[in-house]
Amino acid sequence: MLIGVQDFIAGWIAGTTALAIGHPFDTIKVRQQVLHTRLFKAVKFTFKHEGIPGFYKGFVLPALMIGPSNAIFFGFYGGTMRFIGKEGQEGRVDLTDPNWERNVFLAGTFAGFWQVIFTCPAELVKTLLQMQTQNKNVWKSRYETDAKGIIDCLIKIWRGPGFKWYFRGITPMMYRDCPTSGIYTLVYEWLVNCDYGYNILNHKVVKQSFAGGTAGLLSWIFVVPLDVIKSRMQGDNMYNPQFRSMRHCVMSTYHEHGWQYFFQGTWPVLVRSFPFNVAIFVTYEFVMDMFKLYT
């Protein structure tokens, strides 16, 4: 079976647990990337004009989607690992298989592909809602879409540019998420299966936390420019789009802001990635252990 049911359920619970930690960082990251502002300015203006709720703009849709999104990722990952490889006695990976690293990378990449297909419309709506800022004369944004909520945003897209706009930015998302999902799972399986000797790193939860956080950090550190392009394409004005394609977005961004702009939002991304992925993997492994214990 290509989708592991237990992995699916564990991924759903893990994604929901991690979202509350990561969403404020994601909001600041998106505002930096689309509204062309610095980290501390984005934090200051968000808190000053919108308070704590401002950091959770666009939260409802990810809250509804993060569960099934991670369920799809871990469902395909676990199912694919069982399909193309042999499970070890202690986990998903048989470390005696000389091809286990290749299998993990391929399974992670495949899972990332299906996760992008599912999450692209949700990422689009989330980004548009995160652009709905108060005190608009301070932000000076040309990307505002005046959407009043999830349903209003979905309707405006449908009545405006139409169905294809729901998948706006899917190309940079594919470049960003597919190979890095393979790296993500490979780094995690490497680190979680290491023997660190008789010290605290060999404690199961500590090892999972270190492996998950490091995997998240390394899978993001090299793809921030792709995330910037994704955010700018999805945050574009749907009625009068500035960018015709991913290539046009790259060239326009470079000519308008220079190469440094491709690293906008780096600090929120990196700060978010470690605790977010610790929460995902520790919760995922805990739920999977419960399945093994009671089934």
Buried b / exposed e along 3-13 (16+ C-beta atoms within 10 A): bbebbbbbbbb
Whole-number Å distance between alpha carbons of 208 and 182: 18
By mean pLDDT, which of 14-28, 47-61, 112-126, 273-287 is the weakest? 47-61
pLDDT, one tens digit per residue, over 137-177 is 544 444 455 666 788 888 888 988 899 999 999 999 999 99
Whole-number Å distance between alpha carbons of 295 and 293: 6
Buried b / exposed e along 21-49 (16+ C-beta atoms within 10 A): bbbbbbbbbbbbbbbbbebeebbebbeee
| Higher pLDDT pick, 286 / 23 | 286
| Rounded percentage of the chain residues whose pLDDT exceeds 90 | 35
By mean pLDDT, which of 63-72, 78-87, 105-114 is the weakest? 78-87
Q: Is the pTM of this model over 0.75?
A: yes
Whole-number Å distance between alpha carbons of 26 and 32: 10
HSE (side-chain half, CA atoms, 13 Å) at 14:
28
If you average pLDDT over every residue of the chain, what do you get? 83
Whole-number Å distance between alpha carbons of 120 and 203: 37
Whole-number Å distance between alpha carbons of 235 and 214: 29
- CB-based contacts of 31, cutoff 8 Å, min separation 6: 37, 42, 46, 130, 131, 133, 139
Q: Cα dist. 258→251, 254, 255 in Å?
A: 10, 4, 6
Instruction: Reply yes or no on whether the pLDDT at 114 is more than 90.
Output: yes
| Higher pLDDT pick, 97 / 64 | 97
Whole-number Å distance between alpha carbons of 277 and 280: 5
Count CB atoms within 10 A of the CB of residue 95.
13
All structural domains of the chain, each given as residue ranges with its CATH number in brackets, are 5-134+148-289 (1.50.40.10)
Identify whether the C-beta of residue 235 lies closer than 8 Å to the C-beta of residue 34.
Answer: yes
Give residue 255's pLDDT: 94
| Higher pLDDT pick, 256 / 24 | 256
Identify whether the C-beta of residue 105 lies closer than 8 Å to the C-beta of residue 185.
Answer: yes
Whole-number Å distance between alpha carbons of 141 and 126: 17
Give residue 92's pLDDT: 67
